[in-house]
Amino acid sequence: MTKLSVQNLYQTDFALWVENTISKLKSQDYIHVDWENLIEEIEALGGRDRRELESRLTTLFEHLLKRRYVNLPECYRGWDVTISRTQQELKRIFRDSPSLRNYYLTVVDECYQDAVKNMNKEYDHQFPEDCPFPTDIDGLLTIN
């Protein structure tokens, strides 16, 4: 396959491009690998993992805030389930990518602030600007 046809394959049939790329890497046919798009995809994977961490962390803070400050007992069970499920998913993320623990330290405050903004829009309540929950990973992933 020519470089042009490999790049065209990337644009027209991503799944086939992935299979083709894996095959070339396994057979060590490095000269025919579509390096430009492969590098782009690998970079995107790192960004995806960071966005996933931020999204789940914000969700966890939102539900912890609701559970602690919003007086709607009929919703407590659902919020508790979401808290538990989100903690489990975050544990998996850190298990699979331990280096994201360092990234966590750079975004934990921002994620909490995002959660507060979201909750202030959703509920007629003033939530604390300073995080009332543990912000160390282990403490946050075991709080209930």
Terminal-to-terminal C-alpha distance of the chain: 55
Kindly state whether residue 41 falls inside one of the protein's structural domains: no
The pLDDT of 69-84, averaged and rounded, is: 97
Q: Confidence class of residue 9 from pLDDT cuts 50, 70 and 90?
A: confident
**Are residue 15 and residue 81 in the same domain, yes or no?**
no
Query: 67 and 114 share a domain?
Result: yes
**Same domain (yes/no): 15, 72:** no
pLDDT of residue 3: 59
**Same domain membership, residue 105 and residue 78:** yes
The CA-atom distances, in angstroms, between 26 and each of 10, 30, 33, 50, 77 are 18, 9, 11, 28, 49
Classify residue 7: in a domain, yes or no. yes
Segment 79-125, tens digit of pLDDT: 999 999 999 999 999 999 999 999 999 999 999 999 999 999 999 88
Q: Are residues 98 and 120 in the same domain?
A: yes
- The pLDDT, as a whole number, for residue 46 is 77
In a domain, 1, yes or no: yes
Residues 109, 133: one domain?
A: yes
**Do both 66 and 98 map to the same domain?**
yes
Asked if 54 and 84 sit in the same domain, the reply is yes
State the pLDDT at residue 8. Answer: 82
At which residue do the structure tokens 């912000």 appear? 135
Q: Are residues 70 and 20 in the same domain?
A: no
Q: Which one, of 68, 72, 49, 71, lies nearest residue 60 by Cα?
A: 68
> Is it the case that residue 4 has pLDDT exceeding 60?
no
Longest CA–CA span in the chain (Å) reads 64
User: What is the crossing angle of helices 14-26 and 3-12, to 10°?
Assistant: 130
Count of the separate structural domains present in the chain: 2
Residue 22 in domain: yes
Instruction: Output 86 or 11, whichever has higher pLDDT.
Output: 86
99 & 127 share domain:
yes
* Residue 137 to residue 98: CA distance in whole angstroms: 11
DSSP 52-72: HHHHHHHHHHHHHHHHHH---
In terms of residue numbers, what domain contains 3?
A: 1-33
For residue 60, pLDDT over 70 is answered with: yes
pLDDT at 45: 84
